[in-house]
Each structure stands twice: as structure tokens, then as C-alpha cells.
Amino acid sequence: MRVRFDGEIAGVGSAGGTRVVVGRWVRSPFGEVADAMVETAAGHRVLVAPTRELADFIAATYTFDEVRIEPTTLVAGPDARRFTSASLDLAISVGRPTALGRLVGLVPRRIATAPAWCAVTDPVARVVLRGVRTRGTAGGGRREWYGATGVRAVTTLDGSFDGVPLGELRPVDPPCRFGFSSTPPRPSLTTVVTTIDLPGARAVGSQDAGDRGDRA
């Protein structure tokens, strides 16, 4: 079975050494949701998700030292995003498209989000963006493809994790260790469709299987 998550991923580093990856999914097998993956300066990896069902799905795909089930909210404006939960409060400002964003924006969405295209771009991504891949294998024999349709620079950061201020914006360095892929070193907001093959899986989430995406 193949499922798709359609939305955006914000990846940022901080002066305190904590790196954060926030996913805002407008369409997914779990409805409209937001989650966060946090890696502290000490290397402790935490998943923050609003439901156990979503947390179990993400944790079966990526690797964490701790999973927290917390109500999450994500407020999106034209040039800003704010994610809040009991553990994490993160506000970012978003600027213009990056050079990479302008390049991927030239590719029609239908092509850019197709797994076959992600397979073509993967060798380039490995060279150009340290730690980033656009296809790969994940936990439980799953296969994934990341089809980016736009990239904008993140210009400021303000927030805290477990009550400790994150500090000013910094590159995502070292890369996060959640799974086979990370976000680019440059703090950015990427609009993306994530496609996941679930071998031998039954229906996931609340949507009917026919609503969860097209096969390539």
C-alpha cells in the first residue's frame, strides 16, 4: 500500500545546538496534522506528535530515543510559522525562495512529486545537499520518496524546548539522525509530498485507501 503526506517541512538549527524538524501536513492518512522531531545538542532524539496513532506510524519509519504524545498547533502566515506543544514552542520567519527553491519550482508539480522523479534527483541531492536524500528505505521495509516543489529560506527563529531557550538561528549542523534523510544544512521551509510504500500493510489512519495518493 502507498500513502502520501502533502505539506511542508521546516528544518532549523539553533545557537543552543538543538535542531528541529517540523512537519505540517495539510493532507495525510491522519488528516491535517503537525508534528516535530527534535535532536538536542547531546544527541537525544525526541518525537512530538498529537496522537498515538500518528506517533506509532512515524516511529515505525524513523528512529527516536523518546516519543511524546502532546496536542500540537501550527499557525501559518504568509511569512511565518509557529508550532506549539507542551514541550516545544517554535516561531520562525520565512523569506524568499532559495536558489534551489527557484530551480525545483520550474518542475511541474505532477512530475516533481512522482517517485520516479525522486529517484532521478536523489544522486544530485546527495552531492549538493549534505545529509539529504530524496529516496531511500526506512524502518519495517518501508520505502520513501521526497518530492520537493519549493524551498524558502528561514530567516529568524525564536522558541524553547522543555523550557530552555533555543537561541538564535543556526545551520542544521550536524545533520539530524532521525532516519535515512535530513533537512538541508541551510535553515529552510520546503513544500513537499512524501510518498511511503508500506509492504503488506492494512489501511492507515482515518481516510479511505483510495484517498491516500496515486501510484506512480
CB 44 within 8 A of CB 66: yes
Name the amino acid, one letter, at 70: E
Cα-only R_g, the chain:
16
Q: Can you give the pLDDT at residue 212?
A: 31
What was the pLDDT predicted at 208? 36
Statement: residue 204 has pLDDT above 80? no
> What residues pair up with 24 in beta bridges, in sequence order?
8, 34
Helix (H) or strand (E) holding 115: helix 115-128
Mean pLDDT, rounded, for 146-156: 91
Q: CB of 60 within 8 A of CB of 76? A: no
Check pLDDT > 70 for residue 125: no
pTM: 0.85
pLDDT tens for 20-55 read 999 999 999 999 999 999 999 999 999 999 999 999
